[in-house]
Amino acid sequence: MVKRMNEFKSVLKEATTELIEKKSRFISNVKPVNTESEALDFIKKVNNIHKDANHNVYAYVINSNVGIERASDDGEPQGTAGIPVLEVIKREHLTNICVVVTRYFGGILLGAGGLIRAYSASARNGIVEAQICTMALYSRISVKISYPYLGKIQNMVNSSENTIINVQYTEYVKLYIKVKANNLDNVINTLKEYTNGESEIECLGNFYDIT
């Protein structure tokens, strides 16, 4: 079983940028992805959009605990395209990201050094546009309490890094709370302490969100 990361750096959104280098067009498409399948689907999508391009170079990294790293030069001289794009990703310590750099040849040869610089710059521009962010693993829990404890629990949650997502008012009060996964046990123990053990707490699953 693969252990999930508590935090990692990725990008916030899908983005596209364009760079002109000696009449060649370099179009960078960047997307946050959670699986290798999502990365491959994104690469296929970009290839279909730019099927008339000379090259559709790509690199992606998925979950550093799994360690999936892939890169393709797509016909460019070996080591001048895919690996430079991958190195840009790795220098920023990013994961769960896919970058595809499309090149339309402009008639002027760039040489190995020129290709490395152009693909690196294009990938970097796309990543900046996609906005680097830190993602954290959160747990969603429900807490069922009687009304006298409501204010106390709300104050406790609001004074911490946790967040009340929703509140349901019936015969009892049921709060849905977003908690950092690495602090889940402490939060549960605190909730029990604040309610003298009279709360009903249920863990509803984990998810990643911006920290």
Domains of the chain: which residue ranges?
7-130, 137-210
Is the pTM of the predicted complex or chain greater than 0.75? yes
Q: What is the pLDDT of residue 5?
A: 79
Q: Which CATH number among 3.30.565.10, 3.30.70.240, 3.30.70.1400, 3.30.110.70 corresponds to the domain 137-210?
A: 3.30.70.240
Q: What is the pLDDT of residue 207?
A: 92
What would the two tokens of residue 47 be? 């290839």
Name the residue among 24, 7, 25, 28 with its Cα closest to residue 127.
28
Residue ranges of the chain with pLDDT lower than 50? 1-2
Q: Could you name the CATH architecture of 7-130?
A: 2-Layer Sandwich (3.30)
**CA-based radius of gyration for the chain:** 23
Strand, helix or coil at 204?
strand
